[in-house]
Structure 1
Amino acid sequence: MTSLPSATHAVLIPSYNPGPKVFDTVRAARALWSPVWVVVDGSTDGTTEQLVELARTDPGLRVFVLPQNQGKGAAVLFGLDEAARAGYTHVLTMDSDGQHPAELIPRFMDTSMKTPAAMILGKPVFDASAPLLRVRGRKVSNAWANLETLWMGIGDSLYGFRVYPVEPLRRVMRGQRWMRRFDFDPEAVVRLAWRGVRPINVDAPVKYFRADEGGVSHFNYWRDNALLTWMHSRLFAGFVLRLPLLLWRRLSGRA
């Protein structure tokens, strides 16, 4: 495991009923980075106790347990607040279910350290395991996100393997009531872009595991697409209000 903990950048893993893949995810992240923080978002699958036990013997791992499920965005916000209290300036978020490439953590962190004012966004590279409906559907969200930011360069609005600057994202989330559930990822990048946080895209593979491989999915097509539709309706209204400022930034070269 890495022996030199970072004083500025932490890995943050929100986790809700991920199944045993979470242990592979945490171990892979810890092999390459310290500290790694897991926020257990009210899991009921028995993984909480084992994660807590892992943290007891590993000073580079911290596990926070929320008493009930609040949503991915809420779990990330909890982690952001803890990171701010501990003096961290950036967090890399990754899913707990093994879909995200832990081996790219050092590259993403290095890119962030060289450009600390930016957000480092994973741009997914899909393989044959990716459901076609999911691959095609995300193009709709990406098109809206790029329109809402006047094409600032968001490579993918939904892929949650990212490095965020802590304080800008905390201010965004504390300033309104949304961004607490599945719709967190696209709203985060759009609102940060509105605040002038530049996106830097880095290609990263994504792996979808079948159920017999230990894969767990909480995606609900109708519920989650309804959430995304409502989110983009709010964001488009905000985009119209901000359009003069966004146009001025584009024309002046500040975006």
Structure 2
Amino acid sequence: MILGQPVFDASAPQLRVQGRRLSNVCADLETLWAGIGDTLFGFRVYPIAPLVAIMRRHTWMRGFDFDPEAAVRLCWAGVRPIRVDAPVRYFRGSEGGVSHFQYLRDNILLVGMHLRLTAGGLLRLPWQIARRLQRGW
């Protein structure tokens, strides 16, 4: 899977940058630092067959939680991430910038997702460690 790695400029709101960091730390823990990078960046290319198989087994991943959960679950399935730097500029409202992020709803969704994934990561911990040791951590 190819995952964009945002390179923020000075226009990036610090509240959003810090919020992303928190989600990234959670994903790092859930995947034992598999290299996802930024969990909330939408520049992604996923392998279709593994993604469809995962989506058939899980009823979540249909909203704002799609990208981070898809990346974590694909890592658990053995798909290695490839990160590609992508410059990011936040446009002001006067420049046509629009955010579809709804703070309360989407943060509740993300917290619930990370709780589910953390529990799943703990259950997979022995398997993840064994896989990492085989690959040479």
Q: Please classify the TM superposition score into its range, dividing by the shorter chain length.
A: over 0.9
1:223: Cα distance to partner? 1.6
1:212 aligned residue (89, 94, 113): 94
- C-alpha distance in structure 2 between counterparts of 1:179 and 1:254, whole Å: 31
Segments of 4+ moved more than 4 angstroms:
none
- Following TM superposition, by how much is the alpha carbon of 1:221 offset from its aligned partner in structure 2, in angstroms? 1.6
Residue 176 (1) aligns with residue 63 (2): no
Match of 2:15 among 133, 145, 154: 133
Unmatched runs of 5 consecutive residues or more in structure 1: 1-118
Which residue of 29, 38, 61 corresponds with 1:147?
29
Pick the structure with greater CA Rg: 1
Q: Give the equivalent residue in structure 1 for 2:5.
A: 123
Give the drift of 1:251.
1.1
- Separation in 1 of the partners of 2:16 and 2:23? 11
Q: Which runs of 5+ in 2 are unaligned?
A: none
- The Cα RMSD (Å) is 1.2
Corresponding residue for 2:108? Answer: 226
Query: Which structure features the higher share of strand residues?
Result: 1
Corresponding residue number in structure 2 for 1:239: 121
In structure 2, distance between residues paired with 1:254 and 1:121: 22
> TM-score, length-normalised on structure 1?
0.52
Question: Hey, what's the Cα distance between the residues in 2 that align with 1:157 and 1:236?
Answer: 14
Q: What is the CA-CA distance between 1:202 and the residue it aligns to?
A: 1.0
CA distance in 1, matches of 2:103, 2:136: 38
2:44 match: 162
Query: What amino acid is aligned across from residue 69 of structure 2 in structure 1?
Result: E
Normalised TM-score (structure 2): 0.96
SS in 1 for 2:46: strand
SS in 2 for 1:196: coil
Higher helix proportion (structure 1 or 2): 2
Tell me the CA shift for residue 224 of structure 1. 1.1
Count of residue pairs the alignment pairs up: 137
Q: Secondary structure at the match of 1:248?
A: helix
Residues 188-208 of structure 1 deviation map (CA, whole Å, 9 limit, x = unaligned): 100000000001111101221
Output the CA distance in 2 between the equivalents of 1:227 and 1:143. Answer: 17
TM-aligned CA deviation for residue 154 of structure 1: 1.2
Which structure has more RCO (C-alpha within 8 Å, separation ≥ 6)? 2
User: 1:1-255 maps to which residues of 2 (within 5 A)?
Assistant: 119-253=1-135
Q: AA paired with 2:19?
A: G
Q: Distance in 1 between matches of 2:126 and 2:40?
A: 26
3-state SS of paired residue (2:41): coil
Percent identity of paired positions between Structure 1 and Structure 2: 68
* SS of 1:204 mapped into structure 2: strand
The separation in 1 between residues aligned to 2:89 and 2:57, in whole angstroms, is 34
